[in-house]
Chains A and B, each alone.
Chain A
Amino acid sequence: MDVSYINPFVRATIDCFKTMITDQILPLTPSLKRQPFSCYAISGIIGLSGEAQGSISLGFSMPVAVKVVSDMLKTQINETYPDLPDAIGEIANIIAGNAKKELSKFNLSISLPNVIIGENHTLAGEGGAPTILVPFSSGSGDFMMEISLKTK
């Protein structure tokens, strides 16, 4: 996987957060995911298909997810808010949709969002493709982006 492919996703994340959630958003040093680990409570996942296949996911702890969605809605919610999964899925959807504009050579289509909820769940990567981890620090808290893109 060409690591330059992560840049559109990073830029789309910054744009999404600055427009909808918080002005304070900073990507930290990316790394290669060497083994699955469990640290998320809620993840929004978008599948990517076309001339390349893969996925992009955003993983949050529950307190950060609650803060992100509260900031997005300009209303304080808690972890029982019924539309919390919808909101996390929509953030992932907006990021994937905007990033694929810069990856037009792959003619990518994006799936509807899937959201996984469960304390300390693990995300497995796309078979045969490395997963790049991009941590973000934001005014709503820290979270992780996982990008896996297998080119033909």
Chain B
Amino acid sequence: MRILLIDDSTTMRRIQKTQINGLGITDVIEAGDGEEGLKKLEQSMPIDLIMLDWNMPVMDGLTFLKKVRTMDAYKDVKIIMCTSESEKTRVVEALKAGANNYLVKPFTPEALKEKLGI
């Protein structure tokens, strides 16, 4: 499984990457915002799953999500929003925009494992 991890916080990327590695997945690509994420997505296909932060500079997660869902090449890529945005309205907004799942920070390795379906 190859995962694209998009989060502007280097700390959160480091923590999430460690959690992902702990689940036996070592193929992890990182990006610091949605714009960089689009470039990495284009360069690194096939990507199986994207873990996507919401609040980021340059291009936020929701904008990235909406763009990706208009592109046929990426229609099968699963996207999990991983964000501190925890209100029900935000969750619904992300799911309507095409997110497959939603994980609220802070989360445990067990919660991540469940969302990844491993």
**Residues of chain B having any CB pair with chain A under 8 Å:** 8-12, 14-15, 18, 55-57, 83-89, 104-108
Contacts and interface: CB of A to CB of B under 8 A. Distances in A.
A60 to B, nearest CB: 15
Q: Which of B11, B18, B88 has the most CB of A within 10 A?
A: B11
A97 B11 contact: no
Chain A interface residue bracket vs B: 20 to 34
A80 interface: no
Contacts of A19: 106-108
Given A93-B55, A110-B55, A112-B55, A98 B11 contact: no
B84 A97 contact: yes
A101 B86 contact: yes
Interface of A: 15-16, 19-20, 69, 72-74, 83, 86-87, 89-90, 93-98, 100-101, 104, 110, 112
Contacts of B106: 15-16, 19-20, 94
A86 B8 CA distance: 9
A16 B86 CA distance: 13
Leading 7 A-B pairs by shortest Cβ distance: A97-B84, A19-B106, A87-B11, A90-B9, A101-B86, A94-B84, A20-B106
Given A19-B108, A20-B106, A83 B10 contact: yes
A15 B84 CA distance: 12
